Structure 1
């Protein structure tokens, strides 16, 4: 080899865009041998014609090609190299897609650690939605009142809905809870839409935080407007004047089925129901009465759904002073409560 055709390892490395250590590694692997090694000094020298081969190896390595495949590319025809490189690119694209999916799920887990969550039986949640959602406002005049408040507070998950004439509250005791107190307001129609699915789940995890409430993996958009403070109403409830425990089915029959009716409840030693839909006839309902005699009137659409939404054979009515809401509960279940606002005084 002519002296002028020799490049020192440093000059050759600069020309090829690699480091001298990379050239030594290529030599050890048998990829690129020095053109000449000085027996006395051990110095390595390369020919300028070897630059292109080293540049090719560098690019193949930068693309992540294993050494075995680099050898195949260098040794084989261009057509074989094209197939090998195409396969390698496809594998890299799959790896990137998998990495993206893994990162997305990892970010979800990280965010979930900052979110409050609660796990409840699916059927129980579906039943609670069925009891409460009907009390949400269906007029659309105040969007937030068309939603159901789901509130994680203390050891309970509460569902709350109101149309200003009724206030329905159902409390659930979660199986598992994580994070701080949290709440979200979701359109009643959205929750109702998912009832069948919820009822088929053994357990469902609710995750709070962000622009949506997640039922399992199902995001339900949250209503951003603050929900009215229902606790104020509960705190201001006066002691009942009269307490009535009545058989649910007879009471529902006595209330009738006319949505336009006004219902007068006359309470003395028993319970008598008079409906404007049948003004000539009042219906006596078996009941246990405690407290003072009283008379209170409700719109059908306020009282009948409150009585129908309960569970068990009996319903508890706690009637307050005039103009104050009545409390409607299942006699055997204090976890579900409806406050029903009376209308004007009984005629």
Structure 2
């Protein structure tokens, strides 16, 4: 595992022997307790220099040092939690003062949109994968339908990724209107679009109805605010490179994976693919090695989902810094794209 190589290089958990041919690391049975302690300390967020001292004291007789290091780290965590609570209290006050300005309220007037069925189906396919299933975030448990200036944009996000798709829409020349269609209704709508030429969307009293030929499905929209996604997609220009999707997908599936090194913000570990744009303007899956500022680590499963949702044999991949979202765009539509949040590698 790359984590073991990392800790070996850092001098924290050095193997008893390394096979010079295969590179396999062998550890003594006595090191098992140290490995378990190391894993727990890192899960608790202890910095690597302190972990090194704790392990040194653990293996010796300096228990006073170990206890003091643990107490010091606990104090830092408690202080950080106290500071975070204070900041969140301020944020709540600001939100209460602002009211609910994020999206336009559901309109009482009837809104009708005519949309090509193939475009609407493709847009739903392009964004469905990034919708949230977290019951604690119901405002993200649907697809945002954003109507403005003769265009329909569909948006989803689960915080770690975002997908945006565009479809032509006619029939509404009024102000910007946004509604969140719950996933079950969106899936029912998608099922009616296959083989159809035209579709009509009707919004009335917070209900969305899709009509195709003599078939229809309807349901209540979510009574929540959706984040202002337009602020979230304003990114600095990155390095853009075209990829042959089948070949790139195979490279991701068979290429190096960093297991357990990266963690999503909620603490769930994930397998990572580390990408880089080469001087020849190609995207490669990097071998395990020294940290490179031009490398971007992303959740491998999310990357494969985004490639499939792109529904093209060729896509454009944009990489910025290691802390900037990775962007996957369709060559034929700049307005249909997905963002993947980078995952921080272990120190």
TM-score range, shorter chain: 0.5 to 0.7
The residue matched to 2:274 in structure 1 has which SS? strand
* 2:312 alignment partner in structure 1: 312
* 2:145 alignment partner in structure 1: 150
Cα distance, 1:178 vs. partner?
5.0
Cα distance, 1:220 vs. partner?
1.9
* 1:299 alignment partner in structure 2: 299
Rg bigger for which structure?
1
Distance in 2 (CA, whole Å) between partners of 1:256 and 1:207 is 42
CA contact (8 A) 1:116 1:182 kept: no
- Which has the higher mean CA deviation after the structures are superposed, 258-267 or 147-156? 258-267
- Once the two structures are superposed, residues 111-160 of structure 1 have per-residue CA deviations (whole angstroms, 9 ceiling, x without a partner) of x9932221012222122111111110123220111110001111210000
Which TM-score applies when normalising by structure 1? 0.58
Q: 5+ residue gaps in structure 2?
A: 1-106, 260-269
1:341 aligns with 2:336: no
Distance in 2 (CA, whole Å) between partners of 1:346 and 1:305 is 24
CA contact (8 A) 1:264 1:297 kept: yes
Distance in 1 (CA, whole Å) between partners of 2:141 and 2:312 is 28
Over 3 Å counting, the alpha-carbon distance change for 1:114 and 1:187 in structure 2 is closer
Distance in 1 (CA, whole Å) between partners of 2:134 and 2:253 is 24
1:256 aligns with 2:253: yes
Distance in 1 (CA, whole Å) between partners of 2:308 and 2:336 is 12
CA contact (8 A) 2:116 2:168 kept: no
4+ residue runs of structure 1 moved beyond 4 angstroms? 257-260
Distance in 2 (CA, whole Å) between partners of 1:220 and 1:246 is 39
The residue matched to 2:233 in structure 1 has which SS? helix
Higher relative contact order, structure no. (Cα contacts within 8 Å, ≥ 6 residues apart): 2
Cα distance, 1:274 vs. partner?
4.3
Over 3 Å counting, the alpha-carbon distance change for 1:183 and 1:295 in structure 2 is same
Distance in 1 (CA, whole Å) between partners of 2:315 and 2:111 is 35
CA contact (8 A) 2:297 2:322 kept: no
1:183 aligns with 2:175: no
Over 3 Å counting, the alpha-carbon distance change for 1:193 and 1:203 in structure 2 is same
Over 3 Å counting, the alpha-carbon distance change for 1:141 and 1:114 in structure 2 is closer
After the TM superposition, which residues 258-277 of structure 1 pair with which residues of structure 2 at under 5 Å, given as runs? 260-269=270-279, 270-274=282-286
After the TM superposition, which residues 72-91 of structure 1 pair with which residues of structure 2 at under 5 Å, given as runs? none
Cα distance, 1:267 vs. partner?
2.5
Distance in 2 (CA, whole Å) between partners of 1:267 and 1:113 is 49
After the TM superposition, which residues 1-20 of structure 1 pair with which residues of structure 2 at under 5 Å, given as runs? none
Distance in 2 (CA, whole Å) between partners of 1:218 and 1:181 is 24
The residue matched to 2:204 in structure 1 has which SS? coil
Distance in 1 (CA, whole Å) between partners of 2:196 and 2:243 is 34
The residue matched to 1:224 in structure 2 has which SS? coil
Distance in 2 (CA, whole Å) between partners of 1:298 and 1:113 is 42
- Which has the higher mean CA deviation after the structures are superposed, 132-141 or 150-159? 132-141
The residue matched to 2:301 in structure 1 has which SS? helix
* 2:237 alignment partner in structure 1: 239
Over 3 Å counting, the alpha-carbon distance change for 1:142 and 1:273 in structure 2 is same
- Once the two structures are superposed, residues 210-250 of structure 1 have per-residue CA deviations (whole angstroms, 9 ceiling, x without a partner) of 12111124322111010111011123x1221x221111111
Distance in 2 (CA, whole Å) between partners of 1:113 and 1:264 is 48
Which TM-score applies when normalising by structure 2? 0.58
Distance in 2 (CA, whole Å) between partners of 1:272 and 1:318 is 12
Over 3 Å counting, the alpha-carbon distance change for 1:256 and 1:189 in structure 2 is farther
How many residue pairs get matched?
Answer: 220
* 1:322 alignment partner in structure 2: 322
